[in-house]
Amino acid sequence: MNETTSSDSANRAEEWFVPKFGPPRFRSFVGLLFLPYTGMVLSFSVIGAMLATPLYWDRVVALLLIFFFGLGIGAHALDALGSKSVKPWGVAFTRKQLWFLAVASLTIAYAIAVWYALLYVPLLWSMALLEGFFVFAYNLEWFKGRFHTDAWFAISWGSLPVLSGYIMQTNRISVAALALAASTACFSVVEIKASRPYRAYRRQRGGLQHEDRELMLRFETILKNVSTGVMLLGVGLIIWRMAG
């Protein structure tokens, strides 16, 4: 793991999705969750589910819990352990604590997934195995980081959650679900392409020229609007299906 200055870590702790209130450990835990991006993935699973008829609401909730624990906590704890740059949440928690968070949350996620795969949705095994692979290969940068790329990010956290949402409801894959999965992969590409330069600018925030600061704020606006737009789409579809 490459060394990073404490000021870099502090910069990450001041990002827009980290609360400005509460003790440092609380703020670091919320930062660890990457709530806007976790919210996008949860919304992708909802969007996929909303294609199905009939709709089983318990499965919608179950998959939300699976992705919240599996990605929101588990994958991000592994990311703090395996990242080449030191994140503030990787400093606030010891490696043992991060491993505990990762193992405990992934255990909960897979317990729910196995229950539904055994009793109702056998095809869910395919998504569970694929996402399980990416949880470790992407976040711990296995295979010399070959799976830690924008393309694999778009597939693992853009396409697969939509397919998981549809499969959870229907135990099958459709052309419509595949098309929708391709569209959400595009949203994920926008997010990751804006996120990388945004983080680079934040690392040197104190020494940024005016035009660079403007670019950083522009990337931040893109990230805020993409994540918020996706989450509102998910909420809107839930309201539409409930009203129908």
pLDDT digits (tens, 9 = 90+) for 47-97: 999 999 999 999 999 999 999 999 999 999 999 888 665 566 667 888 899
Q: Three-state DSSP class for 162?
A: helix
Total structural domains within the chain: 1
How much is the pTM?
A: 0.91
Residue 125 lies in a domain: yes
Residue 21 pLDDT greater than 60, yes or no = yes
What range does the domain containing 161 cover? 23-234
Indicate whether 5 belongs to any domain. Answer: no
Within a domain: residue 152?
yes
Is residue 8, in this structure, part of any structural domain at all? no
CA distances from 236 to 43, 90, 185, 231, 240 (A): 10, 35, 20, 9, 6
Tell me if 96 is assigned to some domain.
yes
Q: Give tens-digit pLDDT for 188-232.
A: 999 999 998 888 888 776 667 878 888 888 999 999 999 999 999
Question: What average pLDDT score do residues 31-54 get?
Answer: 96
Residue 191 lies in a domain: yes
User: Number of H helices and number of E strands within the chain?
Assistant: 13, 0
* Banded pLDDT at 16 (limits 50, 70, 90): confident
Q: Return the pLDDT at 4.
A: 42
